[in-house]
Amino acid sequence: MKIAFTSCMNFEAGPGGDQRVWNRIAQEQPDYLFLLGDQIYMDFFPHLEEPRQWSDAYFRQAMTDKYTAQWNTPGFKELFAAMRDRQGPQGGVYGTWDDHDFAWNNASGSQVSATKKGISRELFARFMQIDPPVEGIYYSIPLSHAGERIGRAIFLDTRWYSQEPGDEKRLLGEAQFKFLEHELQQEQGLVLLCAGMPIRATGNGWMRYRDDYARLRQLIYMRNIVFLSGDIHENAFLPPAGATKMFEVISSGAFVTKYKLVGKRENFGILDYTPERTDIKLYDIHGLEHHNVIDNATFEHQEIR
């Protein structure tokens, strides 16, 4: 089973034909494509948070136009269509959102009006062609290898229920935590947690929410977990820390610049699972950047140099 994962594509960062990353991903022949947030950018420096002031009608039109432009980008359009043709237990396209495709930079759900949240959810579901049965966009899918079910990927929503950061502030919300607990109880195989907001790989992640982060750690205590995320316009591989057995793997910057005009990105990751091992390769614009192998029996890893 091979999963390609990436995040952060701002079609305004250059001509659509420059998005070569999708052709590179297609060459890997993945079974799944996971898009982990910031599929579009409602705002970008130096115009951060401008959508906060827009009318609902203008917000809807701007978001629709941005999705339409990205979804019609050569390479991405072909890859998305090809992966959608495989949709089901053996493959397909799945994902979640982060701040820039939810509303605006660093937006928490408590800051965004109910109408704008509804518009975001409607358009995300339409273009991604998924239909989560709950508020927000959290859901899970079964994962298969060689025709056999091997586990599940759980997609979390770190925006819809969130409040502004603080030790006792809410990130996931009670309903989503109960969903996550149930999903973990039901699964004894491979578990991939997927979210737009990283945990330890940035100062703007889950650790700003002390209580919810502690609750997550309690739920996954001594569970073999691979956490996939984006957001930071960099690739990163973080081994388990503390009392968890969770690897955090970030691939961010499919088509975006690190800063306003410089630092062009072409980042993506490949998770290649066999019963014996899980290979995780992170690619940047120059080629293979990191390669780590997780032994599925011991859940220990080795970096390949």
Q: How far is CA 49 from the centre of its chain?
A: 21
Domain of residue 220, CATH code: 3.60.21.70
Compute the C-alpha angle 242/243/245, nearest 5°: 100
Per the model's pLDDT, the better-predicted residue between 239 and 131 turns out to be 239
Strand-by-strand arrangement of the 268-273 sheet: 92-96, 32-36, 2-6, 268-273, 277-284, 287-295, 301-303
pLDDT band at 288; cut points 50, 70, 90:
very high
Q: What is the pLDDT of residue 262?
A: 65
| 276's tokens | 């014996």
Domain that holds residue 181: 2-303
User: Does residue 171 register a pLDDT over 90?
Assistant: yes
pTM above 0.75, yes or no: yes
Which pLDDT value is given to residue 261? 61
pLDDT of residue 83 exceeding 70, the answer is yes
Mean pLDDT confidence for 126-154: 92
Amino acid at 288: L
Query: Domain tally for the chain?
Result: 1
Mean pLDDT of the chain: 94
**C-alpha Rg value of the chain to the nearest Å:** 18
State the pLDDT confidence band at 279, using cuts at 50, 70 and 90. very high
Res 269 pLDDT > 80: yes
Q: How far apart are CA 36 and CA 42, in angstroms?
A: 16
88: CB partners within 8 A, 6+ apart = none
Q: Are 282 and 297 in contact (CB under 8 A)?
A: no
Contacts with 296 (C-beta within 8 Å, 6 or more apart), sequence order: 275, 276, 277, 278
pLDDT digits (tens, 9 = 90+) for 174-208: 999 999 999 999 999 999 999 999 999 888 899 99
C-alpha distance from residue 8 to each of 40, 101, 204, 266, 278 (Å): 7, 9, 16, 10, 24
pLDDT higher at 260 or 9? 9
Percent residues over pLDDT 90 in the chain? 86
Higher pLDDT, 121 or 244: 121
Mean per-residue pLDDT, 205-225: 95
What gap in Å lies between CA 113 and CA 142, rounded to an integer? Answer: 33
| Residue 124 burial (CB count, 10 A) | 21
